[in-house]
Copies of this chain bind each other. A is one copy, B any other.
Amino acid sequence: MTRPYVVTNVAIIDAVRMIPEGYIKVKDKQIVAVGEGNPPSEAGWERLDGRKKILMPGLVNTHGHTPMTLLRGISDDLPLERWLKEKIWPAEAALDDESATVGTALAIVEMIRSGTTCFADMYHLNRENAALLGEESGMKASLARGMIACGTKQEQREKLKTAIDYAKSCQTSASGRLRGAVFPHAPYTCPLDFLQDAKAKADGASLPLHIHIAETRKEVDEHEAKHGMPPVAHLLESGILTEGSLAVHAVHINDSEMTGLKQNGVHVSHNPQSNLKLGSGIAPLPELLHHRIPVSLGTDSAASNNTLDLFDEMRQAAMVHKGVAENANATNARTILEMATVNGANTLGFSNTGLLEEGYDADFILIDSDQAHIVPRINHGTLVYSASGRDVTDVFVEGRPLMRDRKLLTMDEEKIRHDAMETSALLAASR
């Protein structure tokens, strides 16, 4: 795709528009035109037939831990604390940079296949390899080296320095498709002074701070008992959550904390499936939206989901809150699509990403709409209530194809699946 091209005869849907049959023109990594009908042929322009397809923005996953695809299905139906202590942490102890990289590669394959073009990834291993895979895969990514504040103060300072250096290196990647973030794990694994230090260093390097927060009721209750206020309020008051920070989960938060998040320009990553599966609870999405907090969607890891398919996540985010509120209009398809595309891109620091507009990056995907579970009509609801990651046929980032006709172009999928099976068997045998 070195020539400019136009995708024709295609249904076009993003968070602000729906064109039943139209086209988009792509040149120099960007969308240069979007319109209805069928444009005349132009010399030097390649034409891609989008008949019986839907063209939509690539999806953006604002929270995950890519190496944990290796732990998919290792433990279902256990609550967060037991899941972590009895299953996940022992299994993770057997991971090293090399095996974690196999998991990251598997995650990237799964994400491209299911139409994700931009993802956040936090982990404590394999960060250089993750950055390399991010570059080679052709995706956009926001990468972070996760930190738990254990060890001596000196060790903690070194851990923080390594994490900041890593995030800075991502910000200046050759392709410009990587971003860096500073990600202390959570208030219950990082004391306030460590968080304050991390925040000061992040600010100094113009890096955003991401943190898991208010995921379970237990976390919130214990934080309140210790600090006299819930964690979100506490981190707002302490100046740790500020403009552009990302609060991941935010399941158990009250109205005044929501007001604080909005006033301080904090973003939220909503991960409904992980929160449900671990029994953590149900975040107040309608209330977060009512407060006009910028909310995006994350899958969390494949160990608590168990897929990285953002279509499943959109569907769940649209569904569950209607039932809880007993209000079918508590969410709507257009807003959910906005969360999964342009909101996510903004949150991860990618401008001009997530809409199908002139001047936006050509990050888009094609969906096969000629299927029994999708016909007879196409609209915003099709993408949220009927489609699945398995319906994605083509994926483009900055105009470059990463998948055509369901074939991956930047990743050796068969080898990666094989390596994942083998690595997983070796890890199981070593425990």
Contact = CB atoms under 8 A, between A and B. Distances in A.
Oligomer: number of copies: 2
Contacts of A330: 279
Given A77-B333, A320-B320, A333-B76, A373 B279 contact: no
A413 B382 CA distance: 20
A367 to B, nearest CB: 12
Given A375-B417, A385-B305, A386-B306, A326 B76 contact: no
Interface in A281-306: 281-282, 302, 305-306
Interface in A350-409: 370-382, 384-386, 388-391
A273 to B, nearest CB: 6
Interface stretch (A34-42, A107-115, A151-159, A236-244): A107-115
A421 interface: yes
Contacts of A217: 326
A193 to B, nearest CB: 31
Contact of A276 (B323, B377, B388, B425): B323
A388 B388 contact: yes
Given A332-B77, A391-B390, A417-B370, A324 B324 contact: yes
A46 to B, nearest CB: 29
A276 B282 CA distance: 14
Contacts of A388: 388, 390
B372 A276 contact: no
Given A306-B386, A309-B373, A328 B381 contact: no
A386 B73 contact: yes
A48 interface: no
A62 interface: no
- 9 closest A-B pairs by beta carbon, nearest first, are A279-B328, A376-B424, A390-B390, A276-B323, A76-B381, A110-B372, A306-B385, A79-B328, A276-B319
Given A77-B332, A78-B328, A79-B327, 15 more contacts: A72-B374, A76-B381, A76-B385, A272-B323, A275-B323, A279-B325, A279-B326, A305-B385, A306-B386, A307-B373, A312-B315, A370-B417, A372-B413, A376-B421, A376-B423
